[in-house]
Amino acid sequence: MTLQSWGGAIARRAFTRRWQRVVALVGTVAVAAAVTGLFALRAEAAGVQHVVNGNFSNGSTAPWWSTGNVSMGVVNGELCAQIPARAPGGNPWDAIIGQNDIVLTAGEELTFSFKATASTDVVIRALVGMNHAPFDAFIAENPTVTTTPQTFSFSYTQAVDEPVGQIAFQVGTSSDTPWTLCLDDVSLASGTAPPVYVPDTGPRVRVNQVAYLPNGPKNATVVTEATAAMAWELRNAANAVVASGMTTPRGDDATSGENVHSIDFSGYTAAGTGFTLVADGETSHPFDIGGAAYEKLRLDALKFYYTQRSGVEILDSLRPGYGRPAGHVQVAPNTGDISVPCQPGVCDYTLNVSGGWYDAGDHGKYVVNGGISVYQLMSEFERTKNARTAKAATLGDNTLAIPESGNGVPDILDEARFEMQFLMSMQVPAGKPFAGMAHHKIHDENWTGLPLLPNFDPQKRELHPPSTAATLNLAATAAQCARLFAPYDHAFANRCLAAARTAWAAALANPAKYAPVSDGTGGGPYDDDYVVDEFYWAAAELYITTGEKKFSDYVLASPEHSVDVFRADGFDWKWTAALGRLDLATVPNNLPGRAAVRASVISGAQKYLDAISAHPYGLPYAPASGRFDWGSNNLILNNMVVLASAYDISGNVAFRNGVLQGINYIFGRNALNQSYVTGYGEVNSHNQHSRWYSHQLDPTLPNPPVGTLSGGPNSSIQDPKAQQKLQGCAPQFCYLDDIESWSTNELTINWNAPLAWVTAFVADQGNGATPPPATCRVSYSKVGLPFGLFVAALTVTNTGTSTVNGWTTTWAFTGDQAVVLPVNARTTQSGATVDATNLAGNARIRPRQSVAFGFLGSTALANPSPELFRLNGSACG
């Protein structure tokens, strides 16, 4: 057998493809019925024992086998094996004890059990799977074996017929020193139904386990059999009752299958820690009232990206416990990303595509997923220029503790630049077929197993064919990059804009080159055969950056421009029209009919606000199918991005409150009573699917960093671990915090991006109080001159009741605009942000009076008027 192939047994391979074919044939709604039909075909009688010589009573180990580096024999009636220390970069399947020739029948109810002891505490991998390619595992468990004898038992239902099955104990990475494993009473017996999996959901009062803002909405959910309103109490850390009231019965919740009540304790506004809610005899998990947690999470969610970097050493000094050597830099055993060939027959060149972020818990890098991820990081920064409540200093230089900190560029842009450089490196060189397009992805030739640090990955790396979707992702993000980096690095901004223009032209020339769904070996396919939305997004970004009419004409003529692009399911890497619409609405530009664009965002947000009101758990997510999709948490957060943008546009506090209610679901106000962000909340996800954050499999490796989002409930439960436990699950219950459950518990760069965006928005709301009315107004007008120059005139009016004695007016340009010569004010400029300060003779502005000043400016990009001004730090109307 091929030991390396055992790694694939725990990955996505043939079982997933068969499952997807079943779904395609019978439809997702009928999958459970189809599986039940398969179960009815079971052929073996109950009580069949599949293991030969499982108690070793004859003094022999036959027919058990082991890899050549393991010696075994019978000692005191047990199989005892001498296991070597793990090798650097080793894999669990480097050392195996197994038994072959096990016949398994679809529908068979099986219990896999064994007694085990070890000379030192270790985690082993116990599997039932195939003894042939693709070496799928039907059950894979990771018990901790100690010096005290323990019996382990795992029940499951066999999903497919398997005439050549195998039991295996993978122990290649269990210990840094040689050790001994003893096994006895190994059994794989049919006839016992697997126990029904019942998650531990804790107290029936479900709250945001992290924090509520003092003056914001505060809502919770109670799971109960009661139909009449019940009393609730809010208690502080000293267990004193500080507020009380009655619940609101909500009836049955279709997404959880539960009868629930709602609690609204918004009237309590005192900050503090250690609060609990009590209702129906249950006490909730503790929570805070205050904003400190969101200030921390706005940075933690972004710090995640540094440890996802490819091609560079991750410094333990910057991320204690997460340091690791550079991965995929052509240092053995890596083949590396410095000179990567295409798949056979795709191209005749190699590219240096080192760098960028690993997409998820595997070693692949994908342009379409990287595109929306880096877009949202840049969008989070761009919001600080244009949103009244945004706090730009929180995302400035020296905020993320990355190697680039201290270089004068906001750290969030430095992190985005690391990915943008990778995206541009994926562009097909001039003179080659499909020149200017972007290769869809780069990853290993075959799937690898877990755990596997990037620097130990031995697989061949390959470029996959260019696609129109990837090319337009590059065009959109590179255009966005050009305007945001222009104030900091003109050369890099020009490089971004050139790449965007080249990609746009290449996409127009190749408008229907699609990534196929079949290209899913070694990495996800990210297939997409509808790219009208990507064209719309790319044209929007190019127009905002350049102001050129050909791009505004394309936007206005696009079918996406005249329809509602805000899906009930949420936008994501495959549905990108919303990205263009949001930027056209929130980033200053001169698009004709822009008022209607802004109105469409408000209309889309209203749908999500209505969903929150209708949902007993306050969820801004109501897919028409009633089923939760893969990565549902990211879709929910993206809907909150729309709500937040509507607030930024309109100032309507209802949209802001929608975000503050929706975030509760992510942090524990859900059916599982689970926070989906590592390190946040008393019960939080920390076993996300990852090859290097694999503490569940290898105690020497860490859990994911604090601030890592799990994908969350997924009704399709595509992985064997979820299928084993979650058949028939209500949508909110289709989740396992298990490293093997890659369909419900993955981590990805495009899921942490909206988490960072939304938590920054929440942190910006301070204590949740409604912002006070503006006490100033600024008018801005400009006249264009030759040679990229322009003259701007500003009038600042005091609309308050107190005299302003000394003033500074602040605004941010969209791109490379620069003040060349101020008139009637002193100016300083940092990046795109300008501070204009009074002169000695115009420092005082009495109520209802104004002061005027202006400047000569220069620009080579679009030059829309700024839309947000601040007077002495306070936003003007």
- Residues annotated as catalytic are 362, 689, 737, 746
Residue 865, exposed/middle/buried by CB under 10 A (0-12, 13-18, 19+)? Answer: middle
3-state secondary structure labels for all residues of 592-623: CCHHHHHHHHHHHHHHHHHHHHHCCCCCCCCC
CB atoms within 10 A of CB 775: 19
Beta strands in 330-452 (DSSP E): 340-341, 350-351, 365-366, 438-439, 441-444
Strands 287-289 and 211-212: parallel
Q: What share of the chain is helix, strand, coil (3-state, %, to 5)?
A: 30, 25, 45
Length of the chain measured in residues:
877
Burial call 160-185: b when 16+ CB within 10 Å, e when fewer: bbbeebbbbbbbbbbbeeebebbbbe
- Packing angle, helices 749-764 and 292-307, rounded to 10: 150
Contact 798, 806 (CB under 8 A): no
Distance linking the first and last C-alpha atoms of the chain: 71
- Packing angle, helices 367-386 and 749-764, rounded to 10: 10
User: 395: Cβ–Cβ under 8 A, 6 or more apart, which residues?
Assistant: 298, 380, 381, 384, 410, 411, 412, 760
CA-angle at 388, arms to 382 and 391, nearest 5°: 60
- Cα torsion 42, 48, 52, 57 to 10°: value is 160
Of the CA atoms within 13 Å of residue 672, those in its CB half-sphere come to: 24
Residue 681, exposed/middle/buried by CB under 10 A (0-12, 13-18, 19+)? Answer: buried
CB atoms within 10 A of CB 350: 12
Q: Is the dihedral of CA 455, 460, 466, 469 positive or negative?
A: negative
Q: Which of 495, 479, 594 is nearest to 538 (CA)?
A: 479
Measured between alpha carbons, how far is 269 from 780 in angstroms, rounded to an integer? 39
Residue 806, exposed/middle/buried by CB under 10 A (0-12, 13-18, 19+)? Answer: exposed
SS3 label, residue 26: helix
As given in the structure block, the two tokens for residue 420 are: 């943008």
Measure Cα distances from 537 to 475, 534, 578, 812 in Å.
9, 5, 8, 23
Q: How many helices (H) and strands (E) does the chain have?
A: 16, 40
Task: Tell me the H-state helices in 486-591.
Answer: 490-509, 532-546, 549-557, 577-586
As given in the structure block, the two tokens for residue 123 are: 């985690």
Q: Supply the DSSP string of 119-142, one letter for each residue.
A: SS-EE-EEEEEESSTT--EEEEE-
3-state secondary structure labels for all residues of 256-305: CCEEEEEEECCCCCCCEEEEEEEECCEECCCEEECCHHHHHHHHHHHHHH
Measured between alpha carbons, how far is 729 from 723 in angstroms, rounded to an integer? 10
Instruction: Find the largest Cα–Cα distance for the chain.
Output: 104
Measured between alpha carbons, how far is 192 from 753 in angstroms, rounded to an integer? 45
Measured between alpha carbons, how far is 208 from 776 in angstroms, rounded to an integer? 37
